[in-house]
Copies of this chain bind each other. A is one copy, B any other.
């Protein structure tokens, strides 16, 4: 599956009074990156079929903080863990410095709120 890079600009809203980016916000940047990778149109289309991605597990290791004015790069590498589960390796870089190393595992819930196999259309998007 193809990897992708998404750029994030750090604004006032992203920081806390320590002067650094608030740790929970990296999960937001990860999600923005995944939405660009999967395509908003595809996500809206899935929603109309009653299908929705949900995070199943996530994990982050923090190496270094980011500050106001930084431009960060989220590097995302998806992989299919099982018929039902996608895993995204998501790392945050400032230049060539790794700030945060993350992993997010997702499933897709159907109209009954039970996991469904990852649809072929999603896999096609990720393979392109």
Copies in the complex: 4
Q: In the bound complex, what is the Cα–Cα distance between A22 and B14 (angstroms)?
A: 10
A85: interface (CB < 8 Å): no
CB distance from A64 to the nearest CB of B (A): 9
Per-residue CB contact flags for chain A residues 38-81 toward chain B (1 = under 8 Å, else 0) read: 00110110010000101111111110010111000000000000
A27: interface (CB < 8 Å): yes
Considering only residues 64-105 of chain A, those with a C-beta below 8 Å from chain B are 65, 67-69
Question: In the bound complex, do residue A52 and residue B22 qualify as a contact, i.e. CB atoms below 8 Å apart?
Answer: no
Q: In the bound complex, what is the Cα–Cα distance between A15 and B41 (angstroms)?
A: 17
Interface range for A: 35 or more
Contact of A32 with B11 at beta-carbon distance under 8 Å, contacts A27-B23, A69-B44 already known = yes
Q: In the bound complex, what is the Cα–Cα distance between A92 and B51 (angstroms)?
A: 25
Question: In the bound complex, do residue B54 and residue A28 qualify as a contact, i.e. CB atoms below 8 Å apart?
Answer: no
Q: Which residue of B lies closest to A44 (CB)?
A: B69
Which residues on B sit within 8 Å (CB–CB) of A58? 23, 59-60
Contact of A18 with B69 at beta-carbon distance under 8 Å, contacts A11-B32, A13-B31, A62-B57 already known = no
Write 5 A-B pairs (CB below 8 A) sorted by A numbering: A11-B31, A12-B22, A13-B32, A17-B19, A40-B69
